[in-house]
Amino acid sequence: MSKLAAQRIQSNLDRLQLARVAEILDEEVKRATEEKMAYSEFLDRLLGEEISTRDVRRVKTALRLSNLPSEKTLENFDYTFQPTVDRARTMELGNLDFVRRRENVILLGPPGVGKTHLACALGVRACQAGMGVYFTSLTDLVKKLVVADRNPGVRSKGLGYVKAQVLIIDEVGYLPLERQHAHLFFQLVSRRYEQTSIVLTSNKTFTEWAQVLGDPVIATAILDRLLHHAHVINIRGNSYRLREKAKLVAAEAER
C-alpha cells in the first residue's frame, strides 16, 4: 500500500468515525496478507471489531449515566437462600420483555432480602440491551421533582428520571412523604403510565402505602397506575446481610 493511500484511508476512517478500524487496520492488513485471507473475511473482521468496541463503550456509558449503585447481577443472586424468589420468573424478567411491553416490576419485602440487588440486576441487563436506565431512591427522586416543580422550563442535566426507559425507584416507604411530595410522585407515575417502565422496591405492603404517602387517595391513585401492568415479587425471608450472623448464632446454639 502506498503511503498516500494509507494516509487517505486513515483520514477517511476518521471522517467516518471508524476509530477502532483506524486503530487496527495496519495489523489486520498484515495478518490478512500473511494468512491469504478472503476479502470478505477481512472486511467482516474489521467491521466486527468496530461494532463490538462500540457495544462495549455504549454499555459502559449507559451504566455510568444510569446512576446504578452497583453492578449486581441476576446470576449472582443466591436463589437457594431466598426460596420465595422464583429463579425462572426472575430470569424471564431479565429478558426485558416487560420493558418492551411497558410494564412495571415491584419488589416487596423486609430489609436485606435482595430487593435492591434484583432491581439493580434488571437495570444492568437493560443497560446491556442498550436501554436508558436511571436509578434513584424515592427520597432523591422527590428532591429532584421539587426542584423541577419550582423551576418549570429549566432544562437541567439531571433529567434522567424523566426520559429513562427503565426508571428504578428504590426504597419506597423508608421515609414517609409529605402530601405535596406524594402528589409530585403521583404526577411522575402518571406521566410514565403505559409509556415506560418503573422498577420499584418497597419494605412496606401496599396497604401501608397510604400511611407512607401521607394520603390514602394519592396512594390509591399511584398504586392503581403502577399495578395495572405490573409484576409483583413478594420476597418473604431472612436478611442476607444477617446471614453470617445467623450462622454464628446457629453454631453457638449447637455447642
Residue 25: CB minimum distance to ligand ADP, A: 43
In the complex, the smallest distance separating the C-beta of residue 171 from Mg ion, rounded to whole angstroms, is: 6
Task: Report how far residue 249's alpha carbon sits from residue 255's, in angstroms, rounded to the nearest whole number.
Answer: 10
The angle, 0 to 180 degrees and rounded to 10, between the axes of the packed helices 115-128 and 39-66 is 140
Dist CA 193 CA 255 (whole Å): 56
CB of 86 to ligand ADP, least distance (A): 12
Q: Which is nearer to Mg ion, 94 or 109 (CB)?
A: 109
How many residues would you count in the chain?
Answer: 255
Interface with Mg ion: number of residues (CB under 5 A): 1
- Where do contacts with ligand ADP occur on this chain (CB under 6 A)? 72, 77-78, 81-82, 109, 111-117, 201, 240-241
Of 110 and 158, nearer to ligand ADP (C-beta) is: 110
Cell of 7: 494516509
Q: How far is the CB of 56 from Mg ion (least distance, A)?
A: 29
Q: Which is nearer to ligand ADP, 89 or 101 (CB)?
A: 89
**Selected binder of Mg ion within 66, 116, 137, 196 (CB under 5 A):** 116
Beta strands across the sheet bearing 133-137: 133-137, 166-172, 197-202, 104-108, 230-234
Residue closer to ligand ADP by CB (options 117, 183) is 117
Which of Mg ion, ligand ADP, none is residue 117 near (CB under 5 to 8 Å by kind)? Answer: ligand ADP
The residue among 125, 155, 104, 13 whose CA lies nearest residue 62 is 125
Between 75 and 252, CB nearer to ligand ADP: 75
Half-sphere exposure of 170 (CA within 13 A, CB side): 20
Decide which of Mg ion, ligand ADP, none touches 82; Cβ closer than 5 to 8 Å per partner kind.
Answer: ligand ADP
Q: How far, in whole angstroms, is CA 226 from its chain's centroid?
A: 18
Of 130, 136, 131, 127, which is closest to residue 199 (Cα–Cα)? 136
Complex with Mg ion: residue 117 or 192, whichever CB lies closer:
117
Q: Angle 179-192/138-150 helices, nearest 10 degrees?
A: 90
Question: Nearest residue to Mg ion, using CB?
Answer: 116
Select from Mg ion, ligand ADP, none the partner in contact with residue 241, using the beta carbon and a kind-dependent cut-off of 5 to 8 Å.
Answer: ligand ADP
Question: 168: helix, coil or strand?
Answer: strand
Closest approach of Cβ 240 to ligand ADP, in Å?
3
Shortest CB 53 distance to ligand ADP, Å: 30
